[in-house]
Homo-oligomer: A and B are copies of this chain.
Amino acid sequence: MGTLQLFPTPYTPAPPLDIPFVQQQQSLARYSSTRTKRARGRSQATDGENKAAIAWDAGQELCVEEIEVAPPRAHEVRIEIYYTGVCHTDAYTLSGKDPEGAFPIILGHEGAGIVESVGEGVTKLVPNTCSSQSAPPRVSLIPVLRSTPECKECKFCKSGKTNLCGKIRATQGKGVMPDGTSRFKAQGKDILHFMGTSTFSQYTVVADISVVAITPKAPMDRTCLLGCGITTGYGAAVVTAKVEKGSNCAIFGAGCVGLSVIQGCVKNGAAKIIAVDVNDGKQAWAEKFGATTFVNPTKLGKRSIQEELIEMTDGGCDYTFDCTGNVGVMRAALEACHKGWGESIIIGVAAAGQEISTRRMTPPSFQLVTGRVWRGCAFGGIKGRSQLPALVDDYMNGNLKVDEFITHRETLPKINEAFNAMKQGDCIRCVVDMRKL
């Protein structure tokens, strides 16, 4: 079976677009040609060549095994996944701490691939055709899968106030397609979908509103990361907080999301961009993305991180971002905000049963009553189908860092290594090649 490995594993971070696009597109095209013929010949992905990493139960390693992927039904799309990222949210659900988590399930929600086939009523996504005459043949539509769909019809999408879409939320949360059933089967059992995406499968079926077509010129081993972490962080700074020029910002947690918040702050002209992380190894990373200062809160002695930040910024930060999901950090982030106007943006989801709260010597609501704001966002507030293509353009034009996030690469059979790498501090993002077995 033909495969394409764009970079050796493990991957060394490289400057943006270090491989000429033409060369990459030619490779993709060649590969796609072979694969597409095979895919076309099947009415159902049941020929034993489809593998997925299945999470059979909480706390266990993923099992890479054969899986049946039923054809897309009305308003559904079957995608051949080329690349997927591995995100902390996948690990969170796999750990069993996610109260919505159910098993067996196929995780994964940062993916890129091509449309293999479409169900009835899908008009805007055409499998294996060119979106433009100038694009390379067969590498036609490149969807990025997202856990935040956009139907453009529901109360949410029409509100103009949020990127959340209500259309398939209920069934998506239950791990099934909008008609209440699964498209995945392994060992004779139905396997659940995850976040409406399940990118840890070579083929997946998703709602058409979960797919966005982006320029075929963009390399999928990078754009897959726009499906969650990078977009989330960047959007949190640019779309949700709308960081203003000259602002003082603090970012708690310098992982993928935090680093992307930093680049959003840089983009919007923030003055002080303070990265906060307990791992000193993140200092170089934070500075690479534009942080002006790095603080390790475990090295402040008796001083709290909020006290440190308030002094560093003469009264507190204009914006703080929690990218950790740790409730103690969320509290510190709020308390590090400037009285009167500071906003703290919550990006990470805390584990079930934990409280986010604020209590000090002053009354608990005092932090908010004195003019601070606690704001949350999902996917950075970015509307996937409307706004994601522009981010891809920004990347292609060198205005959005993506390549720099990739520290590790794995193949599908070694996907558990990606989870192990993520637990270590030196991994920002691991991209998994889903076609190499």
A interface vs B, CB < 8 Å?
Answer: 98-100, 155-156, 159, 161-164, 166, 314-315, 325, 327, 330, 339-341, 346-359, 361-378, 381
Q: What residues on B are CB-neighbors of A159 within 8 Å?
A: 340-341
A229 CB → nearest B CB, Å? 14
Q: Is the CB of B348 within 8 A of A365?
A: yes
Cα(A314)–Cα(B365), bound, Å: 28
Cβ contact within 8 Å between A364 and B369: no
Can you list 6 residue pairs at the A/B interface with Cβ under 8 Å? Answer: A100-B362, A156-B339, A162-B341, A351-B363, A354-B359, A369-B376
Residues from chain B with a CB closer than 8 A to the CB of A368 are: 346, 356, 374-376
Query: How far, in whole Å, are A373 and B373 apart by their CA atoms in the complex?
Result: 7
> How far, in whole Å, are A179 and B161 apart by their CA atoms in the complex?
48
When distances are taken between beta carbons in the complex, the residues of chain B under 8 Å from A375 are 368, 373-374
Check if A355 sits within 8 Å of B346, measured CB to CB. Answer: no
On whether the beta carbons of B352 and A164 are closer than 8 Å, the reply is no
Question: Could you tell me if B369 and A347 are in contact, using CB atoms closer than 8 angstroms?
Answer: yes
A333 CB to nearest chain B CB (Å): 11
In the bound complex, do residue A156 and residue B364 qualify as a contact, i.e. CB atoms below 8 Å apart?
no
Q: Which residues of B contact A166 (CB under 8 A)?
A: 315, 339
A329 to chain B, nearest CB (A): 11
Contact among B350, B359, B371 for A363, CB-based, below 8 A: B350
- A363: chain B residues within 8 A (beta carbon): 98-99, 349-352, 354
B361 pairs with A346, CB closer than 8 A:
no
Q: Is the CB of A364 within 8 A of B372?
A: no
Given the known inter-chain contacts A327-B365, A330-B365, please indicate yes or no for A162 contacting B373, CB distance below 8 A.
Answer: no
The answer to whether A350 touches B378 (Cβ under 8 A) is no
The reply to whether A356 and B357 form a contact with Cβ atoms under 8 Å apart is: yes
Residues of B within 8 A of A356 (CB): 357-358, 364-365, 368
**Please, how many angstroms separate the alpha-carbon atoms of A143 and B374 in the complex?**
35
- From B315, B325, B370, B377, A378 is in contact (CB under 8 Å) with B370
Residue on B nearest A369 in the bound complex, by CB:
B376
Q: In the complex the two chains form, is B164's CB within 8 Å of A340's CB? A: yes
A378 touches B373 (CB 8 A): no
Are A355 and B359 CB-contacts (below 8 A) given A370-B376, A373-B374?
A: yes
Shortest distance in angstroms between A388's beta carbon and chain B's nearest beta carbon?
A: 18
- Known A-B contacts A156-B340, A159-B341, A353-B359; A371 and B365 likewise in contact (beta carbons under 8 Å): no
B371 touches A340 (CB 8 A): no
Q: How far is the CA of A369 from the CA of B371 in the complex (A)?
A: 20
Contact A371–B377 (Cβ < 8 Å) = yes
Min CB distance A168 to B, Å, is 14
Docked Cα-Cα span, A88 to B162, in Å, equals 37
In the complex, A349→B362 CA distance in Å? 10
A161's partner among B100, B156, B341, B352 (CB-CB below 8 A) is B341
**B residues in contact with A346, CB < 8 Å:** 365, 368-369
Residues of chain B within 8 A of A376, CB atoms compared: 365, 367-373
| Contact partners of A381 in chain B: CB under 8 A | 371
The answer to whether A349 touches B371, judged by C-beta atoms less than 8 angstroms apart, is no
Structural contact, A164 and B370, CB atoms closer than 8 A: yes
> A189 vs B436: C-alpha distance in the bound complex, in angstroms?
84
In the docked arrangement, what's the CA distance between A37 and B340, Å? 43
Tell me, in angstroms, the Cα distance from A325 to B365 when the chains sit together: 8
What is the chain B residue whose CB lies nearest that of A351? B363
Residues of chain B contacted by A354 (CB below 8 angstroms): 359, 363-364
**Complex Cα spacing A224 to B339, Å:** 27
